[in-house]
A and B are shown apart, each in its own frame.
Chain A
């Protein structure tokens, strides 16, 4: 019997039992809708998180800290450490930052500014290192030997919620120095604001909105020391080689506890893995609903085979082979799978858009939580439909239907024609 005819007969058989076919197909539709919905939302969530992280962690930048998690923060890096790092292959650019330990910044009217950290940097190198983030909203960057100027981060230029300093104003830094564990004293430095940074939001390991920057030479002078760095930022040429470059940087130090290299892409890889696991878990749950649909198909088809026993007997008496009967019933199951799969995919598309908008409204960032900062953007999931998921869901639907249809179809094909003909 030709495949086309078997298909036509299967369609006609399904049409003759419209309600039953519709209900059976509904089970498959629900399963596939769930799978597509969860897959596309999961994919959307993953992409959203990735995009945020890519924007946040300049991915071709490494952050080098002195010390290690086991040994604690170590002594700042020396200039030779920086030049060694610059010589590592794949390092395009490296610049050091010297953070002042305890500083409070006041404006001219003695209002405390929201600056949290004051760091000495090389302005020229810093602009090259973070071209997207290290930008001014007002004023200009000072030259690196201008010891009387300061650049404030967006929030650092505010006291309470409002901007309370402008370019050209003076600010006073009250710096607490600890020359030895038992001695500490304050010194005051008055500097002129030469520029205010754009709002950058939480990015990478910190939020520069809360920082203030002074030339490295000034920071060194304040602490009466040689030029040294608590942080070295490294830009690599080839982001793919980042981990290797990190190892090479570590190897420029004799003591492995002396240095920690933070590789944003490896962190991102971990997050990606976690998102993957969550997505697979969700899909596993969704798959259960499709299995339930499969059992529904088996149930309905078994009843259907019993009802059609006589019909099978007639077909066999006329000369239909067992294989033909098997194929006919399996084709019916497959058609339910194909129809349910296609409709489920379409409804899944619609449902996931609806769900995404509901979820996006629900999950607004809480301003009061520990991790959120004013720069955190609202969450918005856009479902993403990958052809892989769509095809996989479709194949899954058809496979489940055929697998669960196999038992009743075999039962039909094995019917003894004489007994089947006398079945009432």
Chain B
């Protein structure tokens, strides 16, 4: 781990539980970690270990019951819903297992969506979205709707959408979980390339040990607690 690089994400003793009927189901029982700018982190663990919950908290989609989460210096517990939405819009990009593209609009429209929400002028929105799709080698698929695209293509559209606002943090929830091995591997390589070139922090929740191997660090979660944090074999990655 590189110590000279500032943290973009800080998590301090975060707890989160869900209510299922009358009982509280703990999902996270005191998790602390931080992520540096440009780092490629994976969160690894079995089902129910709290990976997705942690990722949602890191992305400001939900708030912790206890503890602090600082995203680029902002404590998300202190932000209003509206400011939190703003933070997601400008600083965070999400990539989901099931792509989560809007089904009835074209690939280009999907990529434009975050810029549209941000109120970026039409022409700039279109140019940036096109450029982003081109960088994903999807320029020929601009006017296709999600159901006209393959899984790998859909995930690349989703990545383009996550990156089009040039966020500091990209969060991915099982991004290869719904893809075949070869396509999954291509997606991993693509994310790594972007991480290297854009110095964006990637935090990837995964079951796939091959992704973990590519990471700077891997956080192993079990039963809502961090079991270990291991360094990946990524070139240049430090030792925890």
Contacts and interface: CB of A to CB of B under 8 A. Distances in A.
Given A311-B102, A417-B61, A418-B62, A318 B96 contact: no
A421 interface: yes
Interface in A1-32: 1-2, 5, 9, 12, 16
Interface of A is mostly: helix
Interface in A102-146: none
Contacts of B117: 1, 315, 318-320, 324
Given A311-B102, A321-B82, A417-B61, A2 B96 contact: no
B85 interface: yes
A16 to B, nearest CB: 5
Contacts of B61: 316-317, 417-418, 421
Contact of A2 (B81, B89, B119, B161): B119
A317 B86 CA distance: 10
Contacts of B86: 319, 321
A1 B90 contact: no
Contacts of B87: 319
B239 to A, nearest CB: 34
A12 B85 contact: no
Given A1-B117, A12-B105, A310-B100, A317 B62 contact: no
A2 to B, nearest CB: 5
B94 A5 contact: no
A323 B82 CA distance: 8
Contacts of A379: none
- Place the interface of chain B in its size category: 20 to 34
Question: In the complex, which of the residues A310, A316, A318, A421 has the most CB atoms of chain B within 10 Å of its own CB atom?
Answer: A318
A409 B83 CA distance: 20
A421 B102 CA distance: 12
A34 to B, nearest CB: 34
Contacts of A316: 61, 85, 88
B179 interface: no
A87 interface: no
B222 interface: no
A322 B102 contact: no
B70 interface: no
- Place the interface of chain A in its size category: 20 to 34
A12 B103 CA distance: 13
Contact of B104 (A16, A323, A416, A417): A16
A85 B49 CA distance: 104
A1 B113 CA distance: 10
A319 B118 contact: yes
A319 B100 contact: no
Contacts of A317: 59, 61, 88, 94, 100
Nearest to A318: B114
A9 B102 CA distance: 12
Contacts of B82: 321-323
Contacts of B116: 1, 5, 9
A318 B62 contact: no
Nearest to A13: B104
A177 interface: no
A416 B85 CA distance: 12
Interface string B74-104: 0000000110011111101010100011101
A314 B85 contact: no
Given A310-B100, A311-B102, A421-B96, A318 B89 contact: yes
A421 B96 CA distance: 10
Contacts of B56: 418
Interface in A270-327: 310-311, 313-324
Nearest to A5: B116
Contact of B100 (A5, A314, A416): A314
A322 B85 contact: yes
Contacts of A417: 61-62
Nearest to B89: A319
Contacts of B105: 12
Contacts of B96: 421
A311 B101 CA distance: 8
A309 to B, nearest CB: 12
B100 A321 contact: no
A1 B119 contact: yes
24 contacts: A1-B116, A1-B119, A2-B119, A5-B116, A313-B100, A314-B100, A316-B85, A317-B59, A317-B61, A317-B88, A317-B100, A318-B88, A318-B89, A318-B94, A318-B113, A318-B114, A318-B161, A319-B118, A319-B165, A321-B85, A323-B82, A418-B56, A418-B62, A421-B96
Interface of B: 56, 59, 61-62, 81-82, 85-90, 92, 94, 96, 100-102, 104-105, 113-114, 116-119, 161, 165
Interface of A: 1-2, 5, 9, 12, 16, 310-311, 313-324, 416-418, 421
Top 5 nearest A-B pairs by Cβ distance? A319-B89, A321-B85, A319-B88, A417-B61, A16-B104
